[in-house]
Amino acid sequence: MALRVWIWLLSLSVLWGGSFFFAKVAIGELGPFTVVFARVALAALALNIAMALSGQSLFRRDTPWRTYLVMGFLNNALPFSLIFWGQTQIASGLASIINSTTPIFTVLVAHVLTTDEKLTGGKIAALLAGLAGVAVLVGPDIAGQALSGAWGQLACLGAALSYAFAGIYGRRFRAMGIAPMAAAGGQLSASTILILPIMLIVDRPWTLPALPSPAIWAALAGLALLSTALAYVLYFRILAAAGATNLLLVTLLLPVTAILLGAAVLGEQLQPRHFAGMALIAIGLAAIDGRIWAFLRPAK
């Protein structure tokens, strides 16, 4: 990859890794659904303004809102809600490690739902390594009946599975001729509509004893504008310049940012088994895109 693409890739890993930190700060005073709503609503507003300034608009007669609603549910509303609720139970760094299983689940979902992405020997090995990593992460809490931690981890696993379904469903955007900015703005706008009633019914933010502190507002702004709106722009640029295989590297890199921020700012500490699980998941990710096989293959 070109140097500029590497810079985009590293920047995206920092932005997405930072989302776990921003969310952990925000849920300290706000309900998880309120944080989800703030994230998607502010990001949707920013992207719609950017589209308007470039002469585009989502609000046309032929806008595929049904597709945006499905994608918004699978890629934003459901996984964001699961992750943010999960972070009320577990550390942000651990949530980011579990989130890195998304490509592992995508391999399995693609095998079931597509005709051109079936399991191969290498992908099966990757799947087994990833599942072993999940077992190392979640198994001890389930066996030891640390149910709050186990449910938090399972919620983050559910988010990773939802992202996998979203990745398969989102393939239709290219066939429909929808521009990347419109796809991002459309799904975020749809997510805002979906999460609004849930946030009002469950969190009832008007019952808060006081307005959020400046730190919470700053975390929400970072989450929406940096880790969502700007991150989507970088995501689609990397996808166009380097392809989906190289984009998988972000999944390997983002836990580093989340773990460092969680430890340095929030005082979080992860156990050795969490890093062991991350190592197994990383091996699985490397096996998915062929890097590990290329490394092991003897030179001719």
DSSP 206: G
pLDDT tens digits, 123-171: 888 888 888 888 888 877 666 656 667 889 899 999 999 988 988 888 7
Q: Name the amino acid, one letter, at 103.
A: P
Please report, for residues 33, 45, 68, 115, the alpha-carbon distance to residue 189 in angstroms, rounded to integers and kept in the order given.
16, 8, 8, 31
- Provide the CB-side half-sphere exposure for 49 (13 A, CA): 8
Q: Is the pLDDT of residue 238 over 70?
A: yes
Question: What is the per-residue pLDDT for 144?
Answer: 64
Are the beta carbons of 248 and 8 closer than 8 angstroms?
A: no
As a whole-number percent, the residues of the chain with pLDDT over 90 amount to 35
pLDDT tens digits, 35-67: 999 999 999 999 999 889 988 888 887 889 999
DSSP 290: T
Q: Is the pLDDT of residue 300 over 60?
A: no
Q: Is the pLDDT of residue 192 over 90?
A: yes
Q: What's the pLDDT band for 86 if we cut at 50, 70, 90? A: very high
pLDDT tens digits, 253-298: 888 888 888 888 888 888 888 888 888 888 887 777 666 666 666 6
Least confident of 180-184, 209-213, 296-300: 296-300
Question: What is the per-residue pLDDT for 4?
Answer: 87
Question: What is the per-residue pLDDT for 213?
Answer: 92
CA 263, 266, 272, 274 dihedral sign is negative
CA 168, 174, 177, 179 dihedral sign is positive
Are the beta carbons of 47 and 182 closer than 8 angstroms?
A: no
Mean pLDDT score of the chain: 86
Least confident of 103-107, 244-248, 252-256, 275-279: 244-248
3-class secondary structure per residue, 43-72: HHHHHHHHHHHCCCCCCCCCCCHHHHHHHH
Other beta carbons within 10 angstroms of residue 123's beta carbon come to 21
Question: What is the per-residue pLDDT for 243?
Answer: 65
Grouping H, G, I as helix, E, B as strand and the rest as coil, residue 145 is coil
Q: What's the pLDDT band for 21 if we cut at 50, 70, 90? A: very high
Higher pLDDT, 241 or 160: 160
Question: What is the per-residue pLDDT for 145?
Answer: 56
Q: What's the pLDDT band for 88 if we cut at 50, 70, 90? A: very high
Hey, what are 16's tokens?
Answer: 């997405």
Give the residue ranges of DSSP H helices in the chain.
3-26, 32-53, 65-72, 78-86, 92-99, 102-113, 121-143, 147-169, 172-175, 180-198, 214-221, 231-247, 249-264, 272-288, 291-296
Q: What's the pLDDT band for 71 if we cut at 50, 70, 90? A: very high
Q: Which of 184, 246, 220 is nearest to 48 (CA)?
A: 184
Average pLDDT over residues 222-249: 80
As a whole-number percent, the residues of the chain with pLDDT over 70 amount to 91
pTM of the model: 0.87
Q: What is the crossing angle of helices 121-143 and 147-169, to 10°?
A: 150
